[in-house]
Chains A and B, each alone.
Chain A
Amino acid sequence: MTRLTRFTRTTAFKLSLLYIAVFTVMSGVLLVYVSENTDHLMSEQVVQAVDAELKGLSDVYVRGGVRDLVQTIDSRSRHPDASLYLLTDFSGNALVGNIARLPTVVLEEADGGLRRVRYTRLGQDTEDIERQAMVRTFELRGGFRLLVGRDLGEQLHFANLLGNALRLWLVVVVVMAAITWLFVSRRVMKRIDDISATSRMIMNGDLSERLTIAGNNDEFDRLAVNLNAMLDRIELLMQSMKDVTDNIAHDLKTPLTRLQTRIEIALREAKGEEGYRGALEATLDETDQLLRIFNALLRIARIESMAPGSVMEPSDMNKLIAQVAELYEPLVEDEGGTLEIDVPPDLHADCNRDLISQVMVNLIENALKYGRPETGALRIRLGGKEDDGRVILFVSDNGPGIPEEDQARVKDRFVRLEESRSEPGTGLGLSLVKAVASLHGGDLRFKNEDPGLCAWIDLAPVKPASSGSGNAEAGTGHKEEPNRE
């Protein structure tokens, strides 16, 4: 595509063309209107002047007869102004006047009508110069014919002048419009081209690129600001996706490498069936860990894409927490800690029992791993309360807590704080808690209680009217569970 065709296809060019066309038509209309009106006005003046002159001359004729009339016309004819006179006798011979020649028909039809004629002026012109005039001719008593008129030269000259001025103005307007629009459209095109160019750069992979903002807050600036905001969001998403992928790569690489090393060592050094068995059992443990990571990732992804309505039912929080506590109490005791329950009676929430139980389990396991105080026994508190229209479920410990600056970070996938790297774990526990919390329209939050950390999520409470049925449903446990016994 050539530059020209590219230019002519732009919206700016088409708009300019339309603008110029409209302007030209309007100017043309104006031109015609002005010249028509001027012409009309001047003709009127001519007619009035001629009529006044005629009246004067006919008075002269009535009072003084032909002789006086001839004298008056003769003296007036000598003035070099625009007035024209001609007096003829009954046979058409000119008696007096300043017209040398004019069409004979004008004199023959002396009906007093206004006529536009070409004539040659006496004494001033050579034979071949013709002028234009407006004339009236009357027949006087005695066969005399009197012609009075006014030369139109001045008027024509003025009309000509006006026409030329208007035409010139039209040309100037069109040219100016074209120039202005060219300038404007070039500016517009430049901005759009800038945006296109930046977009191309971004498409080519440089996500940090941004559209320039001119600072005059025009529509292009507003567009650029919005596009930049969109780019910020995309960059953030890309970054977090990259982080997740990097993390997956890193966290899966470690157990895979370990697995490979074990197999290599076994092949090289293991002796006898016993040796191979040991090596195989060790690799099985590694694959178990890998499977666990995959399952946790899949489960989080699944929870994040779940429709909340499909998996929720009103549940009794007392029952739910008691069951989780019952599962974990022996383990906590074996670890030398205590597990306490703190739930007010009749606390119900709309939730998925399995997912919320897993949330509690994950938080308890975190407390077991990281919530141990430097001195004294681990104390885990497990509870719920109603606060500000939400049901809060919390797990607190009496350990070192999480530094404030890390509290947001630990919810991300695979994030494990330096101190905890040595502990076994996938780094996905809190990510799952966060995913479940947002599925329930809530969030995972932390508070350092000095000593200890309180981690909590919030759920939608079940309204008192429906809590009765919720109770019953929670009471029957798992309806979807087929008869197992």
Chain B
Amino acid sequence: MLRILVIEDDPEAASYLVKGLSEFGHTADHAADGQTGLQMALDSNYDILIVDRMLPKMDGLSIIQELRRDGNHTPVLILSALGQVDDRVKGLKAGGDDYLPKPFAFTELQARVEALARRPQSANQVETTYQVGDLTLDRMAHSCRRGETDIPLQPREFRLLEYLMQHAGQVVTRTMLLENVWEYHFDPQTNVIDVHISRLRGKIDKGFDTPLLHTIRGAGYTIRDAAH
């Protein structure tokens, strides 16, 4: 369960967010303008901030800059109707951690919020090996094993699996994969990611009893040990 603050001036969008996040078991508070939002973010200890870019009294980017200056490093997900290339860069430069253009699907937001919450806060927290079930990924040796079998991976397949395993148990959307594994910030029309996933699946799941890589319909993928 995460404590989340939603800073959003549109009441309808805000209630949709708060309600949706509550349904996924999070506690969500709401601030309707920039100043109130900044005050609430400074006063209480939230796990995630969801900040709209355009807000009355104080805009989203200023809130983030204020927070960072104050030494507050709560992960921030920026929402924006502007939502394109240069705005995204501006948002991240201001200290935001992720950027989601409106309109968005709730599953996308949900997946990103959980990914942000699980993000290592500092470099020495980064693990060198990931383990899901009997699948092991060694980031130092650049090797992958399942049980006793060595699995050879192409560099991109390695990055893909690495990202999935870093967020093991969470839903990862196609857009998140495209952004983080391929560093593209646009949505292709075709199922290009699915093909890569199915190739990866062919390597890590084929011939093994329990599949680890699962497709979540309408959302994306997750890697998890069926036993858990």
Contacts and interface: CB of A to CB of B under 8 A. Distances in A.
A, B in one complex: yes
Interface of A: 281, 284-285, 287-288, 291-292, 294-295, 298-299, 302-303, 306, 310-311, 323, 326-328, 330-331, 334, 352, 354-355, 357-358, 361-362, 365, 368, 424-426, 429, 477-478, 480-485
B195 interface: yes
A365 B85 contact: no
Interface string B137-159: 00000000000000000001000
B218 A284 contact: yes
Given A295-B103, A298-B101, 10 more contacts: A285-B218, A303-B84, A330-B192, A330-B196, A361-B184, A361-B186, A368-B190, A426-B189, A478-B183, A483-B123
Given A281-B218, A295-B103, A425-B189, A327 B85 contact: no
Contacts of A328: 192
Contacts of B86: 306, 310-311
Contacts of B82: 302
Interface string B197-227: 0010000000000000000011000000000
Contacts of A310: 86
A313 B121 CA distance: 31
A361 B189 CA distance: 9
Nearest to A298: B83
Instruction: List 10 tightest A-B contacts by C-beta distance, closest first.
Output: A302-B84, A358-B186, A330-B195, A331-B195, A480-B89, A331-B192, A284-B218, A361-B188, A354-B185, A478-B183
Contact of B166 (A302, A330, A485): A485
Interface in B154-196: 156, 162, 166, 180, 182-192, 195-196
B188 A365 contact: yes
A355 B85 contact: yes
7 contacts: A299-B84, A327-B196, A330-B195, A330-B196, A330-B199, A361-B184, A361-B186
A331 B190 CA distance: 9
Determine which residue in B88, B97, B195, B199 has the highest number of CB atoms from chain A within 10 A of its CB, and name it.
Answer: B195
A288 B105 contact: yes
Interface of B: 82-86, 88-89, 92-93, 97, 101, 103-105, 123, 126, 156, 162, 166, 180, 182-192, 195-196, 199, 217-218
B93 A480 contact: yes
Contacts of B182: 323, 327
Main SS class of interface, B:
loop
B126 A485 contact: yes
Contact of B189 (A294, A299, A429, A482): A429
Main SS class of interface, A:
helix
Contacts of B156: 326
B186 A294 contact: no
Nearest to A483: B123
Contact of A357 (B101, B184, B187): B184
Contacts of A426: 189
B89 A291 contact: no
A129 B84 CA distance: 109
Contacts of B89: 480
Contacts of A327: 182, 184, 192, 196
A171 to B, nearest CB: 76
B138 to A, nearest CB: 15
A281 to B, nearest CB: 6
A429 to B, nearest CB: 7
A480 B92 contact: yes
B188 A292 contact: no
Nearest to B120: A485
Contacts of A285: 218
Given A306-B86, A330-B195, A352-B85, A292 B186 contact: no
A358 B184 CA distance: 8
B197 to A, nearest CB: 10
A291 B105 contact: yes
B97 to A, nearest CB: 7
B180 A482 contact: no
Contacts of B162: 485
B91 to A, nearest CB: 10
A481 B92 CA distance: 8
Contact of B97 (A284, A326, A357, A482): A482
Nearest to A482: B92
